[in-house]
Amino acid sequence: MIIITFPDGSKDNFEKGTTCMSIAERVSPRLAKDAVAAKVNGRIVDLSFKINEDSNIEILTGKEPEGLEVIRHSCAHLMAQAILRLFPNTKLTIGPVVENGFYYDVDSEKTFKPEDLSIIEQEMNNIVNEDLEITREEITKNEALKIFASNKYKIELIEEMNEKVSIYRQGEFLDLCRGPHVPRTSRLRAWKLTKVAGAYWRGNANNKQLQRIYGVAFNTKKELDEYLKILEEAEKRDHRKIGKEMELFMVHEYAPGMPFFLPKGMTVLIELLKFVREESYGPGYNEVRTPQILNAELWKKSGHWEHYKDDMFHMHHAEDNIDIGIKPMNCPAHMLIFKKGTFSYKDLPYRIAETTTLYRNEKSGTLTGLVRVRSLSQDDTHIFVTKEQIEQEIIALLEKIKKIYKIFNLKIDEIHLSTRPEHFLGEKETWDIAENNLINALKLAGLDYKINEGDGAFYGPKIDVKVKDALGRQWQLATIQLDFQMPQRFELHYDDIDGQRKTPVVIHRAILGSLERFFGIIIEHFAGRFPLWLSPVHAVFLPIADRHIEYCKNLKNIWESKGLRVEIDSRTESTPKKVRDSQIKKIPLMITIGDKEIQNNTLAVRNLDGKVKFGISNEDFLNKILENIKNRNLTFDF
């Protein structure tokens, strides 16, 4: 007999060799019905796994994240089996789990189009209804090479494996896989294929381009339907679509990943820059501007040439016979600025801020509108502190982050502490100190956090703040990085209270992050319906007839003199048509002017929610708008 211990601490005796499914059945028939896998002594295994010694066990259903991952991975196999049934000459490569779903990369003579997804889905449904048993086998490497002899991609993977290879079967289909998987195909009921994209084998642009078919999967049909509604809403909110409708920005093949901001988009960007200077920076920050092209020797000194060169744009300058790098970040230049000065402990913290354009060599296939770009600007600051000032400065930054996100109605969802990566600058002991500084600051700030092992910057650990938008989607925005290394490499110093020269520590921080990316995020977050202070146009005057245009021009001059952004739609179109066009452009206030409004010096106002109010005092309404913008309010009610 063996003793099985359950998550609540209770124990029970079972025969040696009992399967996880048998244990689930004894606990509860309902649990056995819902079970997808098990966790035995911390390891996730199939329900058919046999236990031969005293063990701790947790039966996993699709309600647990680990169980949902098993469902999603099983759906990747389900899709792969359907593709092979329909298109037998297809070569399968890999099919991992991703956020909310799965994908499979395939090499096929068939060029898959969106309309093909429904055909594949139908065959997937057939396989689900066949209720095929899913089984695991362990075979030798040589056996695996024979089984997959006709698939060069699988052969490449097998050759990198140890002597034992695991495969999974369901009906006529089999695939290389570590597992685990659900016990039967009938357990897979809540999934949908979403899109087709291109992908290079193993992410290497020198390899053949494959076709990547994506899907989403959930534990229940209800959860899937809810997610699909979010996807539908996300499509309506796509910042690329809204950006085009609102004439905010454009992209061009001559500058991939480098957006062109059109006049209205530039208006929003200028408002964000003003916000950065007033709120993200604020008093005590010293704003600078540094060169965008710098000698490679600087990047070698900072460590970027060794650790970040592939993500930089760089070139050789023939006349001076030097290598140069186009600036991907501001920190090395800010080190030079600090080094030029003479500082004592009384001058610290010393904060250097900059929002000039940076350039990063992102892969072409990852470029997406404003949210993944090659040219970007940040609310970027480097704070030079003594070791004693680290925690209080970080606590103050965390408070500032909470305040700033509240202005945009973005809710902090998760905070990650990213620790020392595999390749890093400096000594392990220094990293331990830096990581403890961040942990202490988070605790003192009363914030929960997750450890993200090995994902720190090469020069220091970092805090990453993730927010949720209006659709519940997560975005990583703020970052606070603690750097003991670069000040040492640049031989920075300050005079301490005891008269000794000491090396400062640098806090790298950005709160909005890339302004381009943040712009794209808030377009989708607000669905283009920006708060009044951010709107590229605050109001549009809609004269009912030509005789009302001159009055609208006078109003426009008065409002613009107060700093408001106003347009007049004087086209010979009907008022309902003008209203519809203004709604497409997401202009928050549509003001109709006719004989009655001119006679009574009033306004007839409509907002984007369809609320209409007549007889509004012109002067009172103007003051209300100005007060709303001054306070950067989220909403405007009249």
Q: Do the beta carbons of residue 511 and residue 478 sit within 8 Å?
A: yes
Mean pLDDT within 365-393: 94
Asked if 473 and 448 sit in the same domain, the reply is yes
Quote the pLDDT of residue 212.
96
Domains identified in the chain, total number: 4
- Is the per-residue pLDDT at 295 higher than 90? yes
What phi, psi does 313 have (nearest 5°)? -95, 130
Return all residues near 310 (Cβ < 8 A) that are at least 6 apart. Answer: 361
Residues 367 and 451 in one domain: yes
DSSP element (H, E) containing 501: strand 501-502
**Cα end-to-end span (Å), the chain:** 75
Q: How confident is the model at residue 232 (pLDDT cuts 50, 70, 90)?
A: very high
Band of the pLDDT at 211, cuts 50, 70, 90? very high
pLDDT value at position 293?
Answer: 95
| 3-class secondary structure, 43 | strand
506-559 confidence digits (pLDDT tens) = 999 999 999 999 999 999 999 999 999 999 999 999 999 999 999 999 999 999
Beta-carbon neighbour count of residue 193 at 10 Å?
24
576 membership: H or E segment, kind and range: helix 575-584
Q: Considering the chain, what is the average pLDDT of its residues?
A: 95
The model's pLDDT over 298-354, given as tens digits with 9 standing for 90+, comes to 999 999 998 899 999 999 998 899 999 999 999 999 999 999 999 999 999 999 999
The helix (H) or strand (E) run that includes residue 242 is helix 239-245
* pLDDT given at position 426: 86
Q: pLDDT-derived band of residue 78, with 50, 70 and 90 as boundaries? A: very high
In the listed set 61, 77, 110, which residue is the last one of a domain according to the structure?
61
Q: Is residue 636 part of a domain?
A: no
Domain of 270, CATH number, reads 3.30.930.10
Asked whether the CA dihedral 246, 247, 252, 258 is positive or negative, the reply is negative
On whether residue 248 sits in a domain, the answer given is: no
Q: How confident is the model at residue 204 (pLDDT cuts 50, 70, 90)?
A: confident
The type of residue at 406 is K
Name, in order, each residue with C-beta under 8 angstroms of 330's C-beta and a sequence gap of 6 or more. 290, 354, 356, 358, 378, 380, 382
Per the domain annotation, does 514 fall within a domain? yes
Q: Round to whole Å and give the CA distance between 311 and 305.
A: 10
How high is the pLDDT of residue 365?
79
- pLDDT at residue 13, as a whole number: 94
Q: Are strands 539-543 and 589-593 parallel, antiparallel or unpaired?
A: parallel
Asked whether the predicted pLDDT for residue 69 surpasses 90, the reply is yes
Q: Is the same domain home to 364 and 482?
A: yes
Q: What pLDDT is recorded for position 486?
A: 93
Asked if residue 76 and residue 24 are part of one domain, the reply reads: no
Q: Is residue 635 part of a domain?
A: no
CATH number of domain containing 74: 3.30.980.10
Three state DSSP letters for 367-411: CECCCECCEECEEEEEEEECHHHHHHHHHHHHHHHHHHHHHCCCE
Q: What is the DSSP letter of 246?
A: T
Banded model confidence at residue 203, pLDDT cuts 50, 70, 90 = confident
Over range 76-96, report the average pLDDT.
97
Contacts of 194 (CB under 8 A, 6+ apart): 101, 117, 214, 215, 216, 231
Give the pair of three-digit tokens for residue 45: 């295994």
- Within a domain: residue 532? no
- Shared domain for 284 and 229, answered yes or no, is no
- List the single range of 248-257, 419-428, 602-611 with lowest mean pLDDT: 419-428
Question: By the 8 A CB rule, do 127 and 81 touch?
Answer: yes
Looking at the fold, whether 90 and 210 belong to one and the same domain comes out as yes
Mean pLDDT calculated for residue range 366-380? 94
The stretch 97-115 carries a mean pLDDT of 95
Same domain, 138 and 264: no
Q: Rounded CA gap, 430 and 450, in Å?
A: 21
pLDDT at 423 over 90: no
- Last residue in a domain, options 31, 61, 91: 61
Which residues are catalytically annotated? Answer: 331, 360, 378, 380, 382, 462, 508
Nearest Cα to 377, choosing from 458, 266, 455, 488? 266
Domain hosting 412: range is 256-291+328-525
Cα-Cα-Cα-Cα dihedral sign, residues 624, 630, 631, 637:
positive
The last residue of one of the domains, among 17, 40, 61, is 61
In a shared domain, residues 344 and 439: yes
pLDDT at 205: 82
Q: Which of 52-61, 197-206, 469-478 has the lowest mean pLDDT?
A: 197-206
Short-list 591, 593, 590, CA closest to 582: 590
Q: Are residues 196 and 260 in the same domain?
A: no
Residue 612 pairs with which residues in a beta bridge? 606
In a domain, 307, yes or no: no
- What average pLDDT score do residues 469-485 get? 93
Is 588 in the same domain as 562? yes
Q: What is the CATH number of the domain that holds 545?
A: 3.40.50.800
pLDDT of 364 above 90? no
What confidence tens digit (pLDDT) does each residue in 16-45 have? 999 999 999 999 999 999 999 999 999 999
Q: Could you tell me if 513 and 364 lie in one domain?
A: yes
Q: What is the DSSP letter of 63?
A: T
Residue 183 has pLDDT above 90, yes or no: yes
Q: Do 75 and 109 share a domain, yes or no?
A: yes
**CATH number of domain containing 19:** 3.10.20.30
> Residues 263, 609, 279, 462: is their CA dihedral positive or negative?
negative
Model pLDDT for residues 557-613, shown as the tens digit of each residue = 999 999 999 999 999 999 999 999 999 999 999 999 999 999 999 999 999 999 999
Within-domain flag for 185: yes
In a domain, 300, yes or no: no
Residue showing tokens 């502190």: 385
Q: What does the block give as tokens for 399?
A: 């408070």
Per-residue DSSP letters for 585-634? TT-SEEEEE-HHHHHHTEEEEEETT--EEEEEEHHHHHHHHHHHHHTT-S
In Å, what is the CA distance from 414 to each residue of 450, 465, 466? 8, 6, 5
Rounded to whole angstroms, the Cα distance separating 18 from 49 reads 8
pLDDT band at 366 (very low <50, low <70, confident <90, very high): confident
